[in-house]
Structure 1
Amino acid sequence: MISRHFTCRVSLALLATALAVAACDAHGSPDASGTARAMSATTPAASTPSCAQRVEAAMNDTQRVGQLFMGAAQLPTTPKADLDAMRNYAVGSVMLAGRSTVGVQKTRAFADQLQGMRQTIAGQRVGLLIATDQEGGQVQVLKGPGFSTIPNGVTQGKYTVTYLRQQAAAWTAQLRSAGVNVNLAPVADIVPASLGTANAPIGKYGRQFGSTAAVVSPHVTAYVQGGTRSKVLTTPKHFPGLGSVRANTDLTAGVTDTTLTRTGANVAPFKAGIAAGAALVMVSLATYKRIDAAHQAVYSSVIIGGMLRKDLGFKGVVISDDLGKAASAKSLAVGKRALAFLRAGGDLTLTVQPTGIPAMAEGIRYAMRHEPAVRTRVHDSVLRVLAAKEAAGVLTCTA
């Protein structure tokens, strides 16, 4: 996409452990990928529900489903209909989209207003994940006083990993000051040198760190580590890779990759980002002929449940690319998109068109009433999202 007396505070350094717990229910059942609970009854705390578990257990279905959406707040002005849709459906995460030049202080004021949508559940305040695209180059949503002018990915890819880590920490510290706790970056796509700018979604804008896994992987690691230093969650994207296609999924339907494989070099940068502690991974809207020719990645249990969860062992939040306005999202009716993503193993549906959230949320709620498996999926996904919120510092449990 152009795209925490009882304290439950979870640091970014312990995010992997927190998410492993969140992947299981209060009775220790395995998550959707079959991964057994990592924490056993060998410690006294094992029988004590986590903060995320306590909050999820107290939620009603509207609140649960609302945690599974990230709607866009368009800048500089967000339509009232978009804000109403997010408030009415208890949406738990917001993406700052569009373009803004108002700087850190005014962005923080707006982010604080958005946090006014947070809910109090079981006596605990559940804040919002507030995200943006702050990659650099032509994909930098937030600018103005207090924000650096960030170079594009190609330039960042020429930095030493030490310098990129320092720079990423500085850039994400600016986001943190502005009330943004999730960066929908870094781009982990590899754009072959032979394709270059002919790759419409990435190469055309110089968003990639490089043309080989040897270059891209360590830079993804450095970027994620920089975000961790500043306590901002990072999001390697667009799994399993958009670097080898020609058309842009935002603008074109039916985008298909014919080269990437389940175990190819394209996976390495995502593996590196996950190992570095990435809290989220964004899944692309393309179809991958050599992996799962029958489904787009966002709707593929092979790609999400198989590659991302099983092969790479990712226990964090799987977020979709835009399932609202993007041309490639329109392969399914609006009301079916979030449910299909959830069924495939996804957690957080991103939409730059919040007015579509009611139809998508109702689709999930209907399925929850009729399919126990869907209710289990929702339970697991909400726990992952809440664990991420603990890591971001917007969910704190007290006795």
Structure 2
Amino acid sequence: MPATTSPATSARTPRFQPSRALAASSLAVVLLAAACTGGGGQPGATSESTPSSTATTSTSPAASSSTSTPTRSASPTSSTTTTSAKPSPTHTASCAERLAASLTPSQRVGQLLMVGLQPSGSSRTLAQQVARDHLGGVIYLGGWQGSGTVRQASQRLQAATEAGRDRAATGGIGLLVAADQEGGQVQQLKGAGFSAIPSARTQATLGTTALTQDVRTWSRELTRAGVNVNLAPVADTVPTSLGAANAPIGRYRRDFVPGDPQANGRYAAAFVRGSLAAGVAPTVKHFPGLGRVTGNTDVTASGTTDSTTSATDPYLEPFRDGIRAGAPLVMVSSARYPRIDPENRAMFSKAVVTDLLRGRLGFDGVVITDDVGAAKAVAAVPVGERATRFIAAGGDIVLTADAGQAPTMRAAIQARVKASPAFARQVNASVERVLALKVRLGLASCGG
């Protein structure tokens, strides 16, 4: 998500059972088997500057912590991978279909919602909502301190999925637990147990091989805290002529190499490979790119129109590279791209999500929104419509920083399902994509 001054995104976790621990290592085998390898590294910008932070609720830099210049973490020691047979894509899809068919309509809709949890919030209260509303995901927002604290919250939230669903019927479908661990000013989980991750600009000075190794180390820290999804890497390219005037990305040095989509693609792919190797699902964002806007969609609707990007733009290449490397999720921005769709913001645009991302780029994984809970760019859109319009465009998971919005979104989706057979088919397809991801993450199974 874009950078702003309030708390940033949060994280999700697999259940802490022996089988879940094994699932993390087997995920690396499952997903890397489908991933393409990328090219060599190329140094990027050098010095690390610390812009004054502006707040955000989801994918923006954490405003609080003081920044220190992190040193590159040591390469991870060799680890063993499980020898259990990995599910084939066909088996995974078939299992996801069976799981989806076993869910009630309310349970299916819940799988498409991811809600935020702040450090000041109550994980017990949210766990009750997870069980009651059958929510499929949670994200840690606002800057959490210490792996132990995060792990405890993750365990409580995952336990709620077993209390709130029929384990025999659903296979005990777990939560997607997400965090925003890009690095630099966008790192929501810090303190004991978490490395100080440098910004993307500094990551690009390491070379792709070293970056992949470091990302694997950072991602293992996430798995130990019960986080299974990282809302990173950023695949946006900021033109050198715009630089820090690009509020969401350039200002916070969130792009790997300014003005160079080819280099950004190599580093995005390297980040994806490191994440997958540790059993964490990476998310390439913010499609089709926030590098050419001046406004930050988290805090304003002004300056959030990109009049340059087209369906054949070279700035799309980093997203394509991340997808080829095996990224199972893509986050869609809430900016406008009139050369692709003159009527709708990207997350509400069939031309962007279905025609361009799924069609031209061939992405068949999970598409997730940027925050639609507190973001000013979508504030004028009724809460329920933020969910239904995104799913109608071809998206899957609606991310809201405000858990209190989930009931309204659920009701709107359910009402639209009853009114429109075409929309109902889209919901079913989205649920199956989300469940297929959970099967690969070891959060659900069909037994056998």
Instruction: Please give the range of the TM-score, normalised by the shorter of the 2 chains.
Output: 0.7 to 0.9
Q: Is 1:76–1:99's contact at 8 Å kept on the other side of the alignment?
A: no
* Amino acid aligned to 1:51: C
User: What secondary structure, in the 3-state scheme, does the structure 2 residue paired with 1:148 have?
Assistant: coil
Q: Is 2:123–2:153's contact at 8 Å kept on the other side of the alignment?
A: no
How far 1:335 moved relative to its partner?
A: 1.3
- From 191, 196, 210, the equivalent of 1:149 is 196
Q: Could you tell me which residue of structure 1 aligns to residue 387 of structure 2? A: 338
Q: Is 2:32–2:276's contact at 8 Å kept on the other side of the alignment?
A: no
Q: Is 1:201–1:247's contact at 8 Å kept on the other side of the alignment?
A: yes
1:78-123 alpha-carbon deviations (Å, 9 max, x no partner): 4876555444321111111110122x22211111111022132515
Pairing of 1:98-117 with structure 2 (within 5 A):
98-102=142-146, 104-117=147-160
1-side partners of 2:340 and 2:381: how far apart? 20
1:261 aligned onto 2:310? yes
Q: Is 1:85–1:357's contact at 8 Å kept on the other side of the alignment?
A: no
- From 268, 289, 298, the equivalent of 1:241 is 289
How far 1:50 moved relative to its partner?
A: 2.2
Pairing of 1:152-231 with structure 2 (within 5 A):
152-211=199-258, 212-231=260-279
- From 392, 396, 416, the equivalent of 1:347 is 396
Pairing of 1:265-280 with structure 2 (within 5 A):
265-280=314-329
Q: Could you tell me which residue of structure 1 aligns to residue 300 of structure 2? A: 252
1:68 aligned onto 2:112? yes
- From 75, 92, 102, the equivalent of 1:58 is 102
Q: Is 2:127–2:156's contact at 8 Å kept on the other side of the alignment?
A: no
User: What secondary structure, in the 3-state scheme, does the structure 2 residue paired with 1:235 have?
Assistant: strand
How far 1:47 moved relative to its partner?
A: 9.9
2-side partners of 1:313 and 1:358: how far apart? 33
How far 1:329 moved relative to its partner?
A: 1.7
User: What secondary structure, in the 3-state scheme, does the structure 2 residue paired with 1:108 have?
Assistant: helix
1:97 aligned onto 2:141? yes
1-side partners of 2:231 and 2:426: how far apart? 24
Pairing of 1:276-287 with structure 2 (within 5 A):
276-287=325-336
* Amino acid aligned to 2:244: T
How far 1:161 moved relative to its partner?
A: 0.4
Q: Is 1:197–1:205's contact at 8 Å kept on the other side of the alignment?
A: yes
Per the alignment, do residues 329 and 124 of structure 1 end up closer, same or farther by CA in structure 2, a change over 3 Å counting? same
- From 366, 379, 384, the equivalent of 2:415 is 366
* Amino acid aligned to 2:204: G
Q: Could you tell me which residue of structure 1 aligns to residue 443 of structure 2? A: 394
2-side partners of 1:376 and 1:186: how far apart? 31
Q: Is 1:217–1:270's contact at 8 Å kept on the other side of the alignment?
A: yes
Q: Could you tell me which residue of structure 2 aligns to residue 28 of structure 1? A: none
The more displaced of 52-61 and 115-124 is 115-124
User: What secondary structure, in the 3-state scheme, does the structure 1 residue paired with 2:118 have?
Assistant: strand
Q: Which runs of 5+ in 2 are unaligned?
A: 9-13, 15-22, 35-88
Q: Could you tell me which residue of structure 2 aligns to residue 292 of structure 1? A: 341
Q: Could you tell me which residue of structure 1 aligns to residue 77 of structure 2? A: none
Q: Is 1:15–1:388's contact at 8 Å kept on the other side of the alignment?
A: no
The more displaced of 285-294 and 80-89 is 80-89
Q: Is 1:16–1:316's contact at 8 Å kept on the other side of the alignment?
A: no
* Amino acid aligned to 1:313: G
- From 346, 355, 362, the equivalent of 1:313 is 362
Q: Which runs of 5+ in 1 are unaligned?
A: 19-44
1:171-214 alpha-carbon deviations (Å, 9 max, x no partner): 11110111000000000000111111110011111111112112
1:370-395 alpha-carbon deviations (Å, 9 max, x no partner): 11111101110001001111121111
How far 1:77 moved relative to its partner?
A: 3.1
The more displaced of 252-261 and 219-228 is 252-261
2-side partners of 1:189 and 1:279: how far apart? 17
1:16-59 alpha-carbon deviations (Å, 9 max, x no partner): 999xxxxxxxxxxxxxxxxxxxxxxxxxx979982211111011
1-side partners of 2:157 and 2:431: how far apart? 20
The more displaced of 159-168 and 119-128 is 119-128
Q: Could you tell me which residue of structure 2 aligns to residue 29 of structure 1? A: none
2-side partners of 1:271 and 1:98: how far apart? 30
**Superposition CA RMSD, Å:** 2.4
* Amino acid aligned to 2:410: A
Per the alignment, do residues 162 and 46 of structure 1 end up closer, same or farther by CA in structure 2, a change over 3 Å counting? closer
User: What secondary structure, in the 3-state scheme, does the structure 2 residue paired with 1:126 have?
Assistant: coil
Q: Is 2:154–2:225's contact at 8 Å kept on the other side of the alignment?
A: yes
* Amino acid aligned to 1:368: V
2-side partners of 1:187 and 1:313: how far apart? 19
Pairing of 1:110-129 with structure 2 (within 5 A):
110-118=153-161, 119=165, 120=167, 122=169, 124-129=171-176
Per the alignment, do residues 48 and 359 of structure 1 end up closer, same or farther by CA in structure 2, a change over 3 Å counting? closer
1:242-273 alpha-carbon deviations (Å, 9 max, x no partner): 01100000000252111111111211000000
Corresponding residue pairs, total: 370
User: What secondary structure, in the 3-state scheme, does the structure 2 residue paired with 1:281 have?
Assistant: strand
User: What secondary structure, in the 3-state scheme, does the structure 2 residue paired with 1:72 have?
Assistant: strand
The more displaced of 259-268 and 235-244 is 259-268
Per the alignment, do residues 303 and 14 of structure 1 end up closer, same or farther by CA in structure 2, a change over 3 Å counting? same
Q: Is 1:217–1:273's contact at 8 Å kept on the other side of the alignment?
A: yes
